[in-house]
Amino acid sequence: MADEKFPEIQGGGSLILAWQVRNKKVLVVGGGEVAAGRILNLLNADAKVILISPRDGLNPEVAYRIERGQVTYHDKLFEPSDLDDPAITMVMTAVDDPEASTRIWKLCKEKRIAANIADVPPECDFYFGSVHRDGPLQIMVSTNGNGPKMANIVRRRIAATLPPNIGEAIAKVGALRKKLRVLAPGDEQGPKRMKWYVLSRKLA
């Protein structure tokens, strides 16, 4: 066993996951530029966004989302009772009041709700990375809150090396896999589906 070569542990990282929030409630507190980015990410993931922020000072993009009915909007300041809905999956704050943000974070900890407090890494259960999107393809680069601008640089360099229309190709692969699952349902038919899939790729 001593001669085995296993990967070395590299602590200090994050567990990067594709968190499925489709049709799940996510509470966003704040209506500025950072909130606009958070809301767009959530809507792209088909989440049900609940937004709490006074109307005065809303970012133009956030106001647009509200006008289009893309979010459930409450024109007010955050109150602890806003976390009483058990269906809330996560909370994101993007306000210019550090004390208020910390209070919200502590309330989320009490209720065991995952939270992201903008620009305060120690008060984040998860981070946003720099994301490249092409249809179903999503590539995220994370610096674990250390250097967001560096993450953008790395993401752009990775995206520049990708083949054109890679997203469309992946979408076609996904459609093929769905068809094969209909033709050969059940986990026990996995090997058969894989053979058909490999054969179809050779014939394409």
Q: Collapsing DSSP states into helix, strand and coil, what is residue 150?
A: helix
CA dihedral 113, 41, 32, 50 (to 10 degrees): -50
Q: Which tokens belong to 10?
A: 């590299």
Helices 190-203 and 166-183, axial angle in degrees (round to 10)? 130
Q: How many residues are given for the chain?
A: 204
Cβ atoms < 10 Å from Cβ of 106: 12
Options 46, 82, 119, 187, the catalytic residue: 119
Joined tokens for residue 181: 């699952």
Contact 38, 27 (CB under 8 A): no
Enter the DSSP assignment of 23: T
The answer to whether residue 96 is catalytic is no
Tell me if 99 sits within 8 A of 122, measured CB to CB.
Answer: no
Query: Within its chain, how far is the Cα of 136 from the centroid?
Result: 13
Catalytic amino acids?
A: 119
